[in-house]
Amino acid sequence: MDATHFADRFTTTLRHLRGVDLHSASDVDLRTALAHTVRAELIDTWQTTHGNPSTTPQRHVAYLSAEYLLGTQTRNALLATELTDTAREALASLGLSLDDITSREVEPGLGNGGLGRLAACFMDSLATLEIPATGYGIRYDYGIFRQTFQDGNQHEQPDTWLAHGSPWEISHPERAVTVHLGGHVDGDNTTRRWVPERHVLAIPCDYLVPGYKSHTVNLLRLWSARATDAFDLTIFNSGDYEKAVAARTYAETISHVLYPEDSTPQGRTLRLTQQYFFAAASLHDLLTRHLKAGRSLHTLPDAVTIQLNDTHPVIAIPELMRLLLDEHGLSWDDAWHITQQTFNYTCHTLLPEALEVWPLDILGPLLPRHLEIIFAINHHFLDDLRRSGADELRVRSMSLIQEHPVRAVRMAHLATVGSRTVNGVAELHSELLRTSVLAQFASYWPDRFTNVTNGVTPRRFLALANPELASLISDTLNVGDRWLKDLDLLRGLEDHVDDPAFIAAFREVKHNNKERLARTLANRDGIELNTNAMLDVMVKRLHEYKRQSLRILHVITQYAKMKNGLIDLATVTPRTVFFGAKAAPGYRLAKETISLINAVATTLNADDEIRPYLSIAFPANYNVTLAETAIPAADLSEQISLAGKEASGTGNMKFALNGALTIGTLDGANVEIRELVGPDNFFLFGMTEPDVVQRQRDGYHPHTVYEQSADLALAIDTISSGAFSPSEPGRYESLVSDWLWNDRFMALADYEDYARCQEAVDRHYANPDQWTRSAILNVARTGFFSSDRSIRDYQTRVWQRPTK
Ligand code: F58
């Protein structure tokens, strides 16, 4: 398509779809028409990809995830279809700017953080690698809350991403699937029949997922809940209008809002309803397609492989069993074989409190037949276990049912028993799954466990986010943009690490990215960014284990020393410390940490003497769109979780790929990043995972650490003195006392080593050639972290394994 053709289609779409002409078009009209113009291209490709599933030789991948943190769509679709320049030229010929139109696009924030963003990267890579796949999830009316700060405290506003419609969505109410809930189970020992009490409709809302320069467009199918008409009508006829409205409300509540949790599941009925709602609708979709293609249910595992993104969709395991047993009349053994060979489970955590359990008194009333099936699965499993010689202690600890503090289903156990493969998301994480979290399962089924280290899509996080670096890479490597599909080619940059012209160009790109971030922050937040300072960035959900507290304590020490004349300002490497973080609404300590960071920011940024050397930028509402501007501008990437707690991290990979150096612990994928970039190009500090275990065994007393570290004490005492809360000196007492007497994630224990390591960062930065060299080597050596590589690993280690 050339620019004239594009412009023509665009203006026609504007007229026919929005009923306006160029002169009367609003921002929303322009955005919508642009999206539809590009979407039309994708639909043509999509029809060839999904034309006839029965001729597809590869297993179809079904990715089940309660979250997809997509980011904006238009620029990505233009990139994938190679229409960016065409669109730019076309719009310019109409007196419009592509960048203006796309910069106002609203991102669908249908995820909390890393897990949801990973799902989005994987969808991109599946399509790019031309693997037939469908992503299934929930179309929340409201995504992750919009964060605002009032007096430095986090407030949550509803995320109204659908206010002006969603031009990328194709909704099919006529293809609604009915999902059943509640009720009871009838029948005798041999035939069981679920008699549900309620019925809701699941409406498929489809998003096209284009592969980059590929012939594949996959589908992301998000389910939206609606009341069934039949249900409404019965009640309407009885004249009870309030009850009818209540039924509608009940149904529509299911997909109304994303739970803004980060790692502690809250065990609410609505959450389980959401999980079952999308798992059931997705399985219905998969089975219908399978049967329509004339295939037998016995061949399901050969045709389809289902990847469970954490335990949120794991209720699909008993649901498939129910369909096979109750609806299709298969024997238990056949149904179990099919089920167990179809599912695979990815675990994303190491925190015990993040492992989902569903109390029987929630699960039973909502899904009575599923609970029976879970008991039966457990019965068979525990029998086998006993036959293998396991003692009762082992049997109890591996059971799918926990007895204390309340009887509940352990979803990670159900997932492990019901899946062909279980994987962790980084080498260290997978190892810790095998040796601690799921150790007993790993010794029982050693072959079931594997690792697939996470990755990120270079299309969004390099080509779109960092166009200047992308074109520098293309110019330097001389392979066009082939590297975007084969990220290991970045290795070729190592040949240029001593080339002065390349070094200068690389440095200029980084500086331009800082200028771009500065413009964004000025417009978006009214924040002024010093583009001549080192940009030190910590962006991620706020959680104790990630240790934003460690970062802010060190900033406070530096500030206090500068104020007290303990640091000669003339020797200081100027830094801006950038934070982006949302806290779960009910997470008190996390919200206090946000308040503290904002208070310190206010104090530092208002101090004319200090600000040129040390300042804080903490824009509210960090999201994918802001990440795309912040990450390319960063010099230093803070990945400072307590070793053994961050499953992988994916932000860490995005920073390294964009030429930031990492200061980090040996945790998650940091371990692999450091191995690849080399110890000279990575700032390592802190306890290792075995150190942590040992220290906890020996008895950890944070107050003693405080007494022994003058610098740490200086930071904590400065807070306690009310330096950041003059009208209320005791404002941060709860944080301080938690550090001194609890400090579950041992921020204090790692403080001294962290401070030492930050000095090494300053020294390295003081030598720009040395720093840039390290930054280039980070880019050159981290091609491994493309999500294309992750997906290839899933193909060979998980999806293409022969069925047994
Ligand atoms: C994250 N988990 C891990 N969970 O923390 C991170 O290390 C990893 O890189 C990433 O997954 C991808 O594997 C995560 O983001 C959630 O957000 C859940 C949302 C639903 C409630 C429980 C936490």
Give the model confidence (pLDDT) of 77-128 as tens digits.
999 999 999 999 999 999 999 999 999 999 999 999 999 999 999 999 999 9
Q: Output the 3-class SS for 12-65.
A: HHHHHHHCCCCCCCCHHHHHHHHHHHHHHHHHHHHHHHCCCHHHCCCCEEEEEC
Task: Could you list the beta-strand ranges (E) of 506-591.
Answer: 534-539, 575-580
Q: In the numeric block, which tokens belong to residue 666?
A: 């040996």
Q: In the numeric block, which tokens belong to residue 452?
A: 């697939």
Ligand 1, closest atom to CA 118?
12
Torsion angle defined by CA atoms of residues 65, 67, 73 and 76, in that order, rounded to the nearest 10 degrees: -60
Helices (H), 238-268: 241-253
Q: Is 485 an annotated catalytic residue?
A: no
Q: Is 650 an annotated catalytic residue?
A: yes
Report yes or no: 400 and 409 within 8 Å, Cβ to Cβ: yes
CB neighbours of residue 694 within 10 Å? 11
- Note if the pTM is more than 0.95: yes
pLDDT per position as a tens digit, 205-243:
999 999 999 999 999 999 999 998 765 666 667 777 787
Tokens 């007993």 appear where? 440
Name residues whose C-beta falls within 8 Å of residue 580's C-beta, 6 or more positions apart in sequence: 537, 538, 539, 540, 618, 619, 622, 626, 627, 630
Task: Give the per-residue pLDDT at 54.
Answer: 45
Residue 92 included in any domain: yes
Would you say residue 470 has pLDDT above 50? yes
The residue from 59, 312, 540, 674 that is catalytic is 540
Q: Which of 121, 263, 623 to mutate to test ligand 1, by most ligand atoms within 8 A of the CB atom? A: 263
pLDDT per position as a tens digit, 752-796:
999 999 999 999 999 999 999 999 999 999 999 999 999 999 999
Q: Residue 349: phi, psi to the nearest 5?
A: -145, 170
User: Could you tell me the sign of the dihedral formed by the alpha carbons of 423, 428, 431, 432, in that order?
Assistant: negative
Whole-number Cα distances in Å, 625 to 103, 189, 538, 676, 740: 9, 55, 16, 28, 37
Residue 678 included in any domain: yes
Would you say residue 661 has pLDDT above 80? yes
Q: How confident is the model at residue 746 (pLDDT cuts 50, 70, 90)?
A: very high
Tokens 């700060």 appear where? 149
Q: How confident is the model at residue 337 (pLDDT cuts 50, 70, 90)?
A: very high
The amino acid at 21: D
Task: Give the per-residue pLDDT at 56.
Answer: 52
CA of 262 to the centre of ligand 1 (A): 7
Query: Does ligand 1 come within 6 angstroms of the Cβ of 644?
Result: no
Report yes or no: 348 and 647 within 8 Å, Cβ to Cβ: yes
pLDDT per position as a tens digit, 166-179:
999 999 999 999 99
Q: How confident is the model at residue 190 (pLDDT cuts 50, 70, 90)?
A: confident
pLDDT per position as a tens digit, 550-609:
999 999 999 999 999 999 999 999 999 999 999 999 999 999 999 999 999 999 999 999
> What value does the CA radius of gyration of the chain take, rounded to a whole number of Å?
27
Nearest to 579 by CA among 609, 562, 604: 604
CA dist., res. 666 & res. 257, Å (int): 36
Nearest to 337 by CA among 350, 325, 349, 352: 325
Residue 661 included in any domain: yes
Task: Give the per-residue pLDDT at 231.
Answer: 58
Name residues whose C-beta falls within 8 Å of residue 511's C-beta, 6 or more positions apart in sequence: 531
Q: How many domains does the chain contain in total?
A: 2
Residue 10 included in any domain: yes
Q: Which of 91, 106, 121 is the last residue of a domain?
A: 106
Residue 650 included in any domain: yes
Tokens 């690490």 appear where? 497
Residue 574 included in any domain: yes
Would you say residue 50 has pLDDT above 80? no
Would you say residue 656 has pLDDT above 90? yes
Q: Is 540 an annotated catalytic residue?
A: yes
Ligand 1, closest atom to CA 649?
9
For residues 650-658, average pLDDT: 99
Q: How confident is the model at residue 51 (pLDDT cuts 50, 70, 90)?
A: low
Query: H or E segment at 277?
Result: helix 269-292
Q: Which of 309, 348, 423, 543 to mutate to test ligand 1, by most ligand atoms within 8 A of the CB atom? A: 348
Task: Give the per-residue pLDDT at 44.
Answer: 78
For residues 278-305, average pLDDT: 98
Residue 368 included in any domain: no
CATH for 726: 3.40.50.2000
Average pLDDT, the chain: 96
Query: Does ligand 1 come within 6 angstroms of the Cβ of 448?
Result: no
539 strand-pairing partners:
580
Query: Does ligand 1 come within 6 angstroms of the Cβ of 313?
Result: no
The amino acid at 116: G
Residue 275 included in any domain: no
Task: Could you list the beta-strand ranges (E) of 71-176.
Answer: 109-110, 133-138, 146-150, 153-157, 169-171
Report yes or no: 21 and 15 within 8 Å, Cβ to Cβ: yes
CA dist., res. 38 & res. 43, Å (int): 9
User: In terms of residue numbers, what domain contains 678?
Assistant: 458-791
SS3 at position 804: coil
Q: Which of 62, 88, 106 is the last residue of a domain?
A: 106
Task: Give the per-residue pLDDT at 49.
Answer: 67
Q: In the numeric block, which tokens belong to residue 244?
A: 């009818």
